[in-house]
């Protein structure tokens, strides 16, 4: 579990340092494009939103979409995790396999991309002036469940996308690791009681985790106190670890509104915040 959340912990430390020195990460620049990190879904440790919605039925109504996503990441030597399309694990490397069930809505974090006149590198900055926006990063806000397998491949190659195959690989002593299930904002004593304890990866623990996910998912509409969180992003910028740090830092210090408040724009599918839009309310 500790390794699975190294990225988030590192970002929190860097953000706190930024608070002490004054500047907001909204002005931070990061190199983007095809350098180092894949485009696509990045699960995040749940982060707060600004909301005034407390009614259970109203919260669930504002989360119209449901999905199950899998993300496979490799731990980098320099720290952090890079997620991408690779599904095969190789010996002597560490991986994280995350399966998310989300009931969610999508908002957009506005961005500006440009080419530096000196270095000729493609850079991005978040939350620019409204007339400078030429890119965006979708962020997923909602409630859900997460199963995280932190894996060390000991020998050979392993299909990381096959959950039951991971149990077989553990039995064959190809991998070692831990498995946890996380409740993300569902807010129910019943669902908390159904969460399995963290355990080592094997056939039994994987089966128990899947059963728990199914049982808790069936009780989402019985949630006593659902609290929406930022659960993930879709990285449209590419870039390096610095890019992901920039996005997380901006979300942490500028919690997105739920639901979107004055100054928002709508798309055909979701309501999304315009640049600089902030809704009144307390961060939860």
Mean pLDDT of the region 131-157? 95
Is the per-residue pLDDT at 58 higher than 90?
yes
Is the per-residue pLDDT at 273 higher than 50?
no
Whole-model pTM? 0.79
Cα separation, 49 vs 41, in Å, equals: 19
Cα separation, 40 vs 37, in Å, equals: 9
Cα separation, 2 vs 150, in Å, equals: 9
> Could you report the per-residue pLDDT of 187-200, keeping only the tens digit for each?
777 788 888 888 99
Which of 35-49, 64-78, 101-115, 200-214 bottoms out in mean pLDDT, i.e. has the lowest?
35-49
Cis peptide bond N-terminal to 259, omega within 30: yes
Please report the pLDDT score of residue 179 as a whole number: 94
Please report the pLDDT score of residue 274 as a whole number: 37
Give the list of residues 6+ apart from residue 179 with CB closer than 8 angstroms, or none.
147, 148, 149, 150, 198, 199, 200, 201, 205, 206, 209
Please report the pLDDT score of residue 37 as a whole number: 67
Is the per-residue pLDDT at 107 higher than 50?
yes
Please report the pLDDT score of residue 128 as a whole number: 86
Percent of the chain residues past pLDDT 90, beyond the cut: 52
Cα separation, 140 vs 138, in Å, equals: 7
**Both tokens assigned to 147:** 């199963």
Strands 50-51 vs 65-75: parallel, antiparallel or unpaired: unpaired
CA distances for 174 relative to 36, 74, 83, 153, 254, angstroms: 28, 17, 22, 6, 43
Cα separation, 177 vs 32, in Å, equals: 32
What are phi and psi for residue 42, nearest 5 degrees? Answer: -125, 110
Which of 25-29, 73-77, 168-172 bottoms out in mean pLDDT, i.e. has the lowest?
25-29
> Could you report the per-residue pLDDT of 9-44, keeping only the tens digit for each?
443 333 333 333 333 444 678 888 775 667 889 999
Cα separation, 253 vs 14, in Å, equals: 12
What confidence category does residue 261 fall into, taking pLDDT thresholds of 50, 70 and 90?
A: low
CA distances for 64 relative to 67, 81, 143, angstroms: 10, 30, 11
């Amino acid at each position: 579990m500790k390794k699975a959340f190294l990225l988030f912990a590192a970002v929190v430390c860097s953000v706190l340092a930024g608070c002490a020195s004054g500047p907001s990460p909204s002005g931070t620049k990061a190199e983007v494009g095809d350098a180092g990190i894949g485009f696509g879904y990045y699960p995040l440790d749940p982060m707060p939103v600004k909301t005034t919605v407390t009614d259970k039925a109203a919260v669930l109504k504002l989360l119209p979409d449901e999905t199950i996503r899998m993300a496979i990441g490799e731990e980098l030597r320099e720290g952090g995790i890079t997620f991408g399309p690779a599904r095969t694990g190789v010996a002597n490397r560490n991986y994280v396999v995350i399966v998310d069930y989300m009931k969610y809505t999508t908002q957009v974090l506005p961005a500006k991309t440009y080419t530096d006149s000196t270095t000729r590198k493609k850079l991005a900055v978040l939350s620019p002036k409204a007339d400078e926006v030429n890119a965006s990063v979708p962020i997923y806000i909602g409630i859900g469940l997460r199963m995280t397998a932190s894996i060390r491949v000991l020998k050979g190659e392993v299909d990381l996308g096959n959950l039951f195959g991971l149990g077989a690989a553990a039995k064959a002593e190809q991998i070692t690791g831990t498995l946890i299930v996380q409740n993300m904002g569902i807010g129910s004593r019943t669902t908390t009681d159904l969460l399995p304890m963290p355990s080592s990866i094997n056939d039994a623990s994987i089966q128990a985790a899947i059963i728990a996910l199914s049982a808790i998912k069936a009780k989402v509409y019985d949630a006593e106190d659902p609290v929406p969180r930022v659960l993930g992003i879709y990285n449209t910028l590419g870039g390096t670890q610095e890019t992901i740090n920039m996005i997380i830092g901006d979300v942490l210090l500028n919690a997105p509104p739920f639901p979107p408040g004055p100054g928002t724009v709508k798309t055909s599918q979701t309501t999304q915040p315009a640049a600089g839009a902030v809704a009144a309310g307390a961060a939860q």
